[in-house]
Amino acid sequence: MGNLIRNEWMKILHRPGTYVMAGLLILAVIASAVITLFINSNFNSSNEDWRQALEAENEQIQMTIESGEEGFYTPSPEGALALNEYRLENDIAPNNAESMWQYLENNSFMISLVGLFSIIVASGIVAGEFSWGTVKLLMIRPIARWKILLSKFLTVATFGLSLIGILTVLSLILGAIFFDSGSAVQLTYSDGEVRESNMIFYLMKVYLYNSIDVILLTTMAFMISAVFRSSSLAIGISLFLYFVGGTATGFIAMYYDWAKYSLFANTNLTMYEMGVPLVEGMTMTFSIIMILIYFTIFVALAFTVFTKRDIAA
């Protein structure tokens, strides 16, 4: 299996597209640092008087609670109030845009760029062999077809992980150079209590949550690539769903309950942390099970069809 994965990586690393993707990702991380620095220098936000700012905010929250409105506080006005009070009592300044933690958290949105590139690679990794005609020479080796497919799947997985690695390591380096260290304590509010946790674990969770739809859509692209042997079909369908699926499901969910069985209704696990599930009655466990079901279906389809069908290309 190791040799097969090395082969796949060799094929990926000898194509210029790979370097374009990595280059774009690196550019995006740098651009994000430049833009953050530029905005901060313009607004000159200072962290000195964070106590005053929090106290002012608390007054407003108090008013919201008294008026009985819902407001726009997450997870709730009470929670926001409790968090602010905890900060004032324990002297923990909130991280502003100039801290490296905030920068790292902001960069988590670039996982969608990683998703885009992973989908492109997953779409081509099986279908490409068919369009190049090399699949014939690949499949007449004393290696079962499922092993070859598995090696390709693992290659896509390691490719995605490598891009996330580039994203985080570069963000950490740029963050450490250009931004304040900030406070490495993350506060969360749940069940009427404020808890302290390590910022690093919090960020890992943010990155993981953001990666779920990437993982599933990349798997889907891989499945389409293996079943239909067409990379354009795989890229087209997967990217369309990647960018539209979430919004469309959101609309459907406003009118129909069955939307909760859609893949995209379940990929955003942060909704449970915020306490606002897409459809009433959905739970974290439900979503995780749905995610696993979709993943299993994609993988099972890819492997059964690919190992059974004749190669007549």
Name the site residues for another protein (rule: CB under 8 A): 3-4, 6-7, 10-11, 14-15, 132-134, 136-137, 139-144, 308, 310-312
Smallest gap from residue 139 Cβ to another protein (A)? 6
Beta strands in the chain (DSSP E): 185-190, 193-198
Smallest gap from residue 225 Cβ to another protein (A)? 17
Ramachandran quadrant class, 197 (left: phi over 0; alpha: psi -120 to 50; beta: rest)? beta
Smallest gap from residue 307 Cβ to another protein (A)? 10
Smallest gap from residue 157 Cβ to another protein (A)? 20
Smallest gap from residue 125 Cβ to another protein (A)? 13
Return the closest-CA partner of residue 18 out of 6, 9, 7.
9
Nearer to another protein, 10 or 254 (CB): 10
* Largest CA-CA distance found in the chain, in angstroms, rounded: 74
Smallest gap from residue 4 Cβ to another protein (A)? 7
Nearer to another protein, 38 or 146 (CB): 146
Spell out the residues 6+ positions from residue 130 whose beta carbon is closer than 8 angstroms to its own.
229, 313
Smallest gap from residue 154 Cβ to another protein (A)? 15
Query: What is the Cα–Cα distance from 231 to 233, expressed in whole angstroms?
Result: 5
Nearer to another protein, 15 or 195 (CB): 15
Q: Do 308 and 229 contact (CB within 8 A), yes or no?
A: no
Nearer to another protein, 76 or 307 (CB): 307
- SS3 for 185? strand
Residue 75: C-alpha distances to residues 70, 78, 188, 190 (Å): 10, 8, 10, 9
Nearer to another protein, 51 or 141 (CB): 141
Its sign, for the CA torsion 6, 162, 154, 116, is: negative
Nearer to another protein, 68 or 133 (CB): 133
Nearer to another protein, 4 or 199 (CB): 4
Q: To the nearest 10°, the Cα dihedral for 83, 37, 160, 249?
A: 60
